[in-house]
Structure 1
Amino acid sequence: MKRILIVKTTSMGDVIHALPVVEDLLQHHPDAQIDWLVEESFADIPRLHPQVKQVFTVAVRRWRKQWWRWQTWREISVVKQAVAAQPYDAVLDLQGLLKSAVMATWARGPRHGYDRHSIREPLASRFYQHTYAIPYRQHAVIRMRTLAASALHYAMPLEKPNYGLSAQCPDANSMAFLALHATSRDSKLWPETHWVALGQYYARQGLQMWLPWGNDMEHQRALRIAGQVPDALVLPQMDLQTLARRMVHVRFAVGVDTGLSHLAAALNVPVVALYTDTEPAYTGVAAGRVSPAMNLGGAGLMPLVNDVIAMLAPIA
């Protein structure tokens, strides 16, 4: 039985993009035990996968703000001891940053990562015993799947990724759709007027708009949108695992550049992702094997409501 540690710590969308690696590894090594090292705020992502055995959490974002505290160094020591408790046959740093390369050294086992020409922080490649040249100009999902295939000596799979989170097919009979309006930067937001117009259009088609939220600002935005859309539902605040269970019961999702849009794709929910400040070519939503995932817009572009409706026409 092989023991494999995946190091992929942040952020939500990036961690989701790494999930197909688990399925690829298990296809070629069915008895493998796969563990994961991840930032504490994104730990629910690998925990959603039934074949990830152990999830180790770090808190780099919090530790940086409290590096002088004894408690911080004790937490770091506890994680390091837990990761080093058993040897690994392979340690895969799918993150490719200096911080993740350092954390990979906590594990006992051969470390695999990108070579200095394939990585944003070339110094990180010095922490690996095995490095691989994997071109940047391809989607992040493909890059990570290629790294794992190279490290474990199997051919890079050609089929679409399997995220392993849900075997359910899209609920074509659902009378609701998901509006993922919240994101990390204001420059990535889609105008509230557009959300209202989209919700009103689908309300006339008999579809209810569901609006999740995570903080007070997002809650207030959801309430403003729902106040102008007939029968719209502002969901109660819920953790990621609860929201994931709710997400699979919609007909489709529309979302901005946010981790939840990637989660929808991973759950086999048809999704249109809206980009206004970033380019989706290499980090946009990536469809699994069941349902479509479509990227619309780009840096400096503002997707139109009619464009979204047109893309969803075969589904909605």
Structure 2
Amino acid sequence: MTCKILIVRTSSLGDLVHMLPAISDIARYVPGAQIDWLVEESFAQIPGWHPAVNEVIPVAHRRWRKQWWSAQTRQERAALREQLQSRQYDVVLDMQALMKSIWLVRQTKGRRHGLDWKSAREPLASLFYDVRHRVGFWQPAVFRQRSLAASAFGYQFEGAPDFGLQGLAAQAPKDENPYAIIMPSASRDDKLWEPENWQQVFDRLQGEGLALRLLAGSPTESERAQALIAGRSQAQVMPRMDLTPIALQLAGAQVMVGLDSGLTHLSAGLGRPTIGIYKASTPVRTPLEGSAYTASLGERGHPPSAETVLCAIDQALGRTQMPEPGLAAAGLTSRLSG
């Protein structure tokens, strides 16, 4: 018997990556699960990567809010409302629990599940669900999403998170020249790491025979990245790409070193050795998760030193042994499995 499920989680990139193991769990533990996913149009490729997702339903809230009352926006909103109201779901699971997701949830037909008052980031959202679930607020994001899905469908999950990205990873181009992916850019200056630290990282990676491929999302970020690699051979700033080509680049890398960003979390989810640098955020709630080595370094207001990141690079490349568990308290949070 089919269980028709609608997942509501529209953004952002990193949050959607954190969702993927919960989708794998639902597919594993819920007989006949047919999963549709309502997502922001700019991130619609991400649910499509997961083999258990039946249909991706795009919403253009970010675009619409710029011209909310224009004729085109009203027409597109009406079309989405008609599409949602034409379908009957067994379970509508809001995994965002924000008021911006509630206006979508209210247009659906089905038993509506979400977080309770104490679990939701915006508690008012909990008032609009038929069934409310308690999930520890300070749990790591991947575990928190897996727990919410398990509570909604009445199962207990076990095992390491499965991001469902094996098929995508298998499509990575076979490049004869090994390379490292670097994500040195961020939308806010308080997230940036010192240029002299990046230079030490570049020296170490190139000393291991790895070319450097830097990611940048805007002209300003591209200029900053170009300045970082000025005078270096075997180093380039990658052109702006859609998410799937970026994911394939990540999947083919020997190692990825990046600021705390959605692409850094995607690299970990793709099973690549990944090192995340936290400066304006905390890894307590959003540590890197993946089947290969990961290190979530630093803390809000306390970025990791270059030496700490170099140590993690050595571990990621198999040059040294894993650190003792006590090093996590010193700002080195690592995982090695598989």
Range of TM-score over shorter length: over 0.9
Across the aligned residues of Structure 1 and Structure 2, the Cα RMSD in angstroms comes to 2.0
**Any conservation in 1 of the 2:49–2:165 contact (CA below 8 Å)?**
yes
TM-score by length of 2: 0.87
- Give the letter aligned to residue 308 of structure 1: V
* Offset of residue 222 of structure 1: 2.0
2:38 paired with 1:37: yes
Q: How does 1:8-87 map to 2 (within 5 A)?
A: 8-29=9-30, 31-87=32-88
* Offset of residue 99 of structure 1: 1.6
2:258 paired with 1:255: yes
Q: Partners of 1:174 and 1:149 in 2: how far apart?
A: 43
**Any conservation in 2 of the 1:97–1:121 contact (CA below 8 Å)?**
yes
Q: Partners of 1:30 and 1:273 in 2: how far apart?
A: 37
Moved over 6 A (4+): none
**Any conservation in 2 of the 1:174–1:251 contact (CA below 8 Å)?**
no
Q: Partners of 2:293 and 2:178 in 1: how far apart?
A: 19
2:216 paired with 1:219: no
1:181 alignment counterpart: 184
Match of 2:36, SS state, is strand
TM-score by length of 1: 0.93
Q: Partners of 1:208 and 1:178 in 2: how far apart?
A: 9
Q: Partners of 2:40 and 2:194 in 1: how far apart?
A: 31
Q: Partners of 2:31 and 2:185 in 1: how far apart?
A: 38
Deviations 1:144-171 (A, max 9, x none): 111111111111x232211101265999
* Offset of residue 77 of structure 1: 1.1
Deviations 1:82-116 (A, max 9, x none): 22322111111000111212211222110100111
Q: Partners of 2:207 and 2:292 in 1: how far apart?
A: 25
2:199 paired with 1:196: yes
Q: Partners of 1:236 and 1:69 in 2: how far apart?
A: 33
Q: Partners of 1:190 and 1:48 in 2: how far apart?
A: 31
**Any conservation in 2 of the 1:203–1:229 contact (CA below 8 Å)?**
no
* Offset of residue 192 of structure 1: 2.4
Structure 1: which 5+ runs fail to align? none
Total equivalences in the alignment: 313
Percent identity of paired positions between Structure 1 and Structure 2: 39
1:283 alignment counterpart: 286
1:119 alignment counterpart: 120
- Give the letter aligned to residue 161 of structure 1: P
2:150 alignment counterpart: 149
Q: Partners of 1:174 and 1:228 in 2: how far apart?
A: 20
Q: Partners of 2:81 and 2:132 in 1: how far apart?
A: 23
Q: 1:110 to 1:174 in 2, by over 3 A?
A: farther
Deviations 1:194-242 (A, max 9, x none): 2222112221221111112222112112211222433112223211111
